[in-house]
Every structure is written in C-alpha cells, then in structure tokens.
C-alpha cells in the first residue's frame, strides 16, 4: 500500500514540475525557427502587501486581451500588412517611441512592428504602446525581440559602431517568415505614410533586393569619397538609416565579393567581411553594406535623398534637390540632433511629434506650433530651409481625416 502511495506521489510531483516548465515557456520562450528570443516581461507590483495577490498592471491586461482577439480573428484578416523594424539599445526608448508614433500617425495600411531591444527595455515598450488610444493602437501589431547575434561572435557584433546597430544585418536570418521589411534607425521620423516607401517594393526589378539613399549628394564633400579605406557603393556611398529589404531575395541570393571566386549567401558573407575589413571601417555595419553593394550594385535601388534627409543635406546650405522640390518625406536626426541645439530645426520637428496628443487637432496642436518654432531657427542653414520640414507633413496631417476605413 505504501509503495503505491509513493508511486502516486512521485507521478504528481513530476507532473507539477513539467506543468510549471510549460507555463514558464509560454511567458518567456525562444523561437526555434529564427533564433531570436521573444521576451514578455510583466512588471512587478513592488508595493504589494504580504498575503495579497499582486495585481497585473493595466497595460498587461490590455496586451493579453488584444493578443487573444488577434488570434481569434487571424483567420478572417485579409488586410495587407507592412513590416517595420527598429533596434533600440541604451537611452533610445523615447526616441524609438516617437519614431513609431510618426509611423502610426500617418500610415494607411496596417503595420507590424519588429522591435529589437535590450531586455530591460521590453516592459517599457509594451507599457507605452498599450497605453495608446484604441483608435491608434488598433492600427498595428508588434513583437518585441531580444538582441540576438551569432553566438560565436556576439560580443564583436554588438560593439560594432554603436551598441546593437549591426542587428539590422541579421534581420533576414531572424525574421525568416517575413518576406519584406522597412528597417529604420531609432532617430527616424516619418513625415509621409510608410505606405509610400513600402510601394518601392513593387518597383524593384528582378535583380533588386534592397533600397537605400546616397550618403551624400556632392562627392567633393562626401565622407566616403574623401576618407573611406574600403570599397563603397557609387560615388558617395549609401546611408543605411532607412533600408527597404526584400528578405526573401536576400536569403536566396549569392553575393559577389572580393574574398572568394564564388558567390556567398548572406549568412556566409557577413563574418568573413567583418574579419577582413574591421580595421578599415569607421561606420560599422553601414560600411559593410557599402562593401557588399559595391560588388553587387545591380541588387540595389537608390532612394532620392528626400527619403532620408539628414543634417548633411542642409548644414552647409541646401543640397537635396528632391526635398527642395517635394519636401522632406523622412527625417533622419543622426548625430544626436534631436537632443541638442546644434540643429534646432531637426529638434523642433522631433519635439512637436513627441508632444502631440493622439486625437487632438493635428493642425492646431502639431503643425501650427511647429511652423512657429521653425521660424526661430532661421539663423542656421537648415532653419533657412524650414518650409521643407513642413511641406509633406502638412499634406500627411490633412490626410489623417481622409483615411479609408481599416479592416478589423
């Protein structure tokens, strides 16, 4: 009798252990297909009293309910989805959320956000996004991933240029089930719907698999043409802060290179390239992309500079012809210009979008105050071109109230 009791007790114990492990894996698990760890980290209620069960934060409950609704309605959804990826490390939380805000505010089709961030930022991203009003939160889904590099060289990749910046190189290998994606740096602001840059995918010829804009418009003052110690694309190089990728093509293509007489696949190319050029590169993964497309120019479509407008386009006088004609479509505040006063025109746009309250009148609450602030920046060369900063933004804001109904 005692032996039967002990057997039953042992079986119950084993069942309880495995049940606990299964439940843990549902909260925090590794996606075996992609190798990228997806983390879900509910905040702890540090003020909970002993003996009182802690309450889940409000954003946690909203997230769970929304995820359930998405699963239940997945079979009925036919709405096309655009994929937008960003990497956030260090003090980039607010900057990344402002970028996402600009993307969601103007876009027409549904977005799926792929947010790669250090683990300590995951809960903050989720709390912020789940606090947005339903009218805007319903326009996108999102997945938060841990930073993930090949294990044998993870430290070297993570420290290349800026923390985690080289994560973008591995998106085709991590997001294996995603056909195409728009990658942007965290210091990007959309002044035009994401739909318009997404439309470039349909303009790719059979060879093209990525699109980026030139690093500069004028070779005589461009960084790559003056200082680079490695091959680079075209006359002035390319800037990788805005990068449209057909990842299905990237995964299946063999890339010419200066290391082997045969083409290498994307996953075979990256580490040998870093080992060969790591002492000669300055801008990290952007330099590696320049080397790759130097040897494979037929694979790249060039954006006009209005799709990646940076201080270099106005700091010494306006030199972006497409922005002069059409206005700025995507603003790129590199060199930290959103957070200092060296280029106040860039900071004014960032502050205006960051402070804008969802649902308020976009013209009265965003556009008019921004125009007034930009008039105070005309002592700088970029400020003298202040009309370029609001030309497309005004049209995008006017279209907010004219969007077609979204599918549920």
The pLDDT value recorded for residue 52 is 35
- Would you say residue 134 has pLDDT above 60? yes
Determine the average pLDDT of the residues in 166-182.
95
The distance from CA 281 to its chain's CA centroid, rounded to whole angstroms, is: 23
Q: Where are the beta strands (DSSP E) in 21-61?
A: 28-30, 37-39
The pLDDT value recorded for residue 157 is 81
The pLDDT value recorded for residue 395 is 94
- Would you say residue 27 has pLDDT above 50? no
- Would you say residue 256 has pLDDT above 60? yes
The pLDDT value recorded for residue 38 is 53
- Would you say residue 14 has pLDDT above 60? no
Determine the average pLDDT of the residues in 309-322.
94
| CA dist., res. 318 & res. 323, Å (int) | 9
pLDDT digits (tens, 9 = 90+) for 262-282: 999 999 999 999 999 988 988
pLDDT digits (tens, 9 = 90+) for 74-131: 555 556 899 999 999 989 999 999 999 999 999 999 999 999 999 999 999 999 999 9
Dihedral sign computed on CA atoms, order 159, 165, 168, 171 = positive
What is the share, in percent, of the chain residues with pLDDT greater than 90? 66
- Would you say residue 337 has pLDDT above 50? yes
Of the ranges 13-27, 118-132, 160-174, 246-260, which one carries the lowest mean pLDDT score?
13-27
Determine the average pLDDT of the residues in 219-226.
86
| Residue 140 pLDDT class (50, 70, 90 cuts) | very high
Give the up-direction half-sphere exposure of residue 394: CA atoms within 13 A in the CB hemisphere: 12
What is the share, in percent, of the chain residues with pLDDT greater than 70? 78
The pLDDT value recorded for residue 298 is 98
- Would you say residue 351 has pLDDT above 50? yes
| CA dist., res. 305 & res. 289, Å (int) | 18
The pLDDT value recorded for residue 219 is 84
For the segment(s) 80-306, the CATH number from 3.90.1150.10, 3.40.50.150, 3.90.550.10, 3.30.390.50 is 3.90.550.10
Looking up tokens 């960084």, which residue turns up? 223
- Would you say residue 34 has pLDDT above 50? no
pLDDT digits (tens, 9 = 90+) for 146-173: 998 887 777 778 777 676 878 999 999 9
Residue scoring higher pLDDT (83 or 400) = 83
Structure tokens at 102: 């600009």
Domain ranges of the chain: 80-306, 315-401
Residue scoring higher pLDDT (61 or 288) = 288
Residue scoring higher pLDDT (403 or 88) = 88
- Would you say residue 405 has pLDDT above 80? no
Decide if 242 contacts 214 (C-beta within 8 A).
no
- Residue 389 three-state SS: helix
The pLDDT value recorded for residue 63 is 63
| CA dist., res. 91 & res. 95, Å (int) | 8
The pLDDT value recorded for residue 225 is 87
What are residue 183's DSSP bridge partners? 85, 243
The whole-chain average pLDDT of the chain stands at 85
Report the b/e string of 111-146 with b at 16+ CB within 10 A: bebbbbbbeebbbbbbbbbbebeeeebebbbbebbe
The pLDDT value recorded for residue 26 is 40
Listing DSSP states for 204-218 in one string gives: --TT--EEEEES-S-
| CA dist., res. 115 & res. 36, Å (int) | 12
The pLDDT value recorded for residue 346 is 98
| CA dist., res. 350 & res. 337, Å (int) | 9
Structure tokens at 168: 């973008």
The pLDDT value recorded for residue 300 is 98
Residue scoring higher pLDDT (376 or 60) = 376
| Residue 64 pLDDT class (50, 70, 90 cuts) | low
The pLDDT value recorded for residue 4 is 59
């Amino acid at each position: 009798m005692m032996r039967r009791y002990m057997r039953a007790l042992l079986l119950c114990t084993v069942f309880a252990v495995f049940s606990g492990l299964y439940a843990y894996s549902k909260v925090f698990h590794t996606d075996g297909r992609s190798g990228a760890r997806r983390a879900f980290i509910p905040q702890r209620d540090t003020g909970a009293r002993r003996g009182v069960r802690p309450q889940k934060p409000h954003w946690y409950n909203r997230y769970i309910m929304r995820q359930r609704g998405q699963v239940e309605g997945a079979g009925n959804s036919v709405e096309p989805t655009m994929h937008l990826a960003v990497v956030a490390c260090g003090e980039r939380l607010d900057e990344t959320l402002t970028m996402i805000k600009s993307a969601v505010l103007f876009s027409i089709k549904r977005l799926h956000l792929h947010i790669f961030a250090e683990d300590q930022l995951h809960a903050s991203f989720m709390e912020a996004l789940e606090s947005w009003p339903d009218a805007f939160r319903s326009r996108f889904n999102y997945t938060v991933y841990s930073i993930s590099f090949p294990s044998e060289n993870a430290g070297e990749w993570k420290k290349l240029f800026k923390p985690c910046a080289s994560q973008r190189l591995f998106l085709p290998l991590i997001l294996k089930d995603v056909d195409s994606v728009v990658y942007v740096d965290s210091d990007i602001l959309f002044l035009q719907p994401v739909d318009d840059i997404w439309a470039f995918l349909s303009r790719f010829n059979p060879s093209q698999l990525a699109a980026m804009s030139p690093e500069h418009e004028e070779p005589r003052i461009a960084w790559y043409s003056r200082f680079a110690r490695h091959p680079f694309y075209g006359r002035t190089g390319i800037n990788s802060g805005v990068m449209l990728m057909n990842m299905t093509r990237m995964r299946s293509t063999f890339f010419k290179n200066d290391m082997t007489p045969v083409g290498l696949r994307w996953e075979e190319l990256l580490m040998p390239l870093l080992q060969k050029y790591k002492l000669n590169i300055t801008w990290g993964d952007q330099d590696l992309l320049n080397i790759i497309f130097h040897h494979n120019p037929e694979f790249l479509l060039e954006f006009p500079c209005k799709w990646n407008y940076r201080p270099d386009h106005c700091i010494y006088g306006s030199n972006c012809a497409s922005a002069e004609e059409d206005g700025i479509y995507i603003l790129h505040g590199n060199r930290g210009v959103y957070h200092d006063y060296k280029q106040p025109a860039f900071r004014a746009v960032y502050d205006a979008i960051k402070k804008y309250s969802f649902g308020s009148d976009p013209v009265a609450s965003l556009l008019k105050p921004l125009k007034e602030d930009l008039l105070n920046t005309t002592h700088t060369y970029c400020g003298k071109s202040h009309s370029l900063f609001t030309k497309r933004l005004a049209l995008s804001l006017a279209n907010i109230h004219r969007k077609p109904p979204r599918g549920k």
